[in-house]
Amino acid sequence: MLSENMTKALNEQISFEIYSSYIYLQMAAWFDNKSLSGFANWMKVQAQEELAHSMIFYNYVNERGMMVEFDAIPKPKTEYVKPVDVFKSALAHEHIVTERINYLMGLAIEEKDYATKSRLDWFIDEQVEEESSAHEIIDKLELIGDHTQSLFMFDKEMAARIFNTPAPLVGK
Ligand code: FEO
């Protein structure tokens, strides 16, 4: 059984992951509107990943015999100037996610809730990857600068991203 405090914190994270999905889907719409369908694809896959993250927490709260409860989802930002700004915003968002996961981990350790700690280990590793991939894309976009042909080539590369079910959801 989870403590009330931990249940509340995990439930907030479920909604935050759905909010993350919403943000990335809005970013996909921005790219689609600019006819950069490869970047839009990357963002759609990211939105799917965030929804999967919410389901990992959803399943966990449920498995521990507690009730899942959602919060309202805020409206995501819609206006950006350049592709690199979108990814800078994505990286800033991932920094917030990392802080939240670290907070949850701290809470699990404080409460000696080792099952929750074990579940959160996956997210700690995942956040390293999330930040690193956003960082890499920002670096590439900064190198590309205003070179349109290179941007279109990178867009093609981004079209190759596919969604893979995260390990904690396989078979669930
Ligand atoms: Fe669910 Fe991008 O962290």
127-156 pLDDT per residue, tens? 999 999 999 999 999 999 999 999 999 999
* Amino acid letter, residue 169: L
The verdict on the CB of residue 44 being under 6 Å from ligand 1 is no
pLDDT of residue 1: 85
The verdict on the CB of residue 50 being under 6 Å from ligand 1 is yes
pLDDT of residue 148: 97
CA of 145 to the centre of ligand 1 (A): 27
Query: Which residues in the chain land under pLDDT 70?
Result: none
- The number of the ligand 1 atom at minimal distance from the alpha carbon of 94 is 2
pLDDT of residue 172: 83
CA of 147 to the centre of ligand 1 (A): 30
Residues 141 and 87 sit within 8 Å (Cβ to Cβ)? yes
What is the number of other CB atoms lying within 10 angstroms of the CB of residue 63?
12
Q: What number of helices (H) and strands (E) belong to the chain?
A: 5, 0
CA of 118 to the centre of ligand 1 (A): 17
The radius of gyration of the chain's CA atoms, rounded to the nearest angstrom, is: 17
Question: Where does residue 52 rank: exposed (0-12), middle (13-18), buried (19+ CB within 10 A)?
Answer: middle
- The number of the ligand 1 atom at minimal distance from the alpha carbon of 46 is 2
DSSP string across 86-97: HHHHHHHHHHHH
Ligand 1, atom 1, residue with closest C-alpha:
50
Which tokens belong to 22?
A: 């919403």
CA of 110 to the centre of ligand 1 (A): 23
CA of 23 to the centre of ligand 1 (A): 11
CA distances from 66 to 59, 116, 128, 129, 150 (A): 10, 13, 29, 30, 50
The verdict on the CB of residue 130 being under 6 Å from ligand 1 is yes
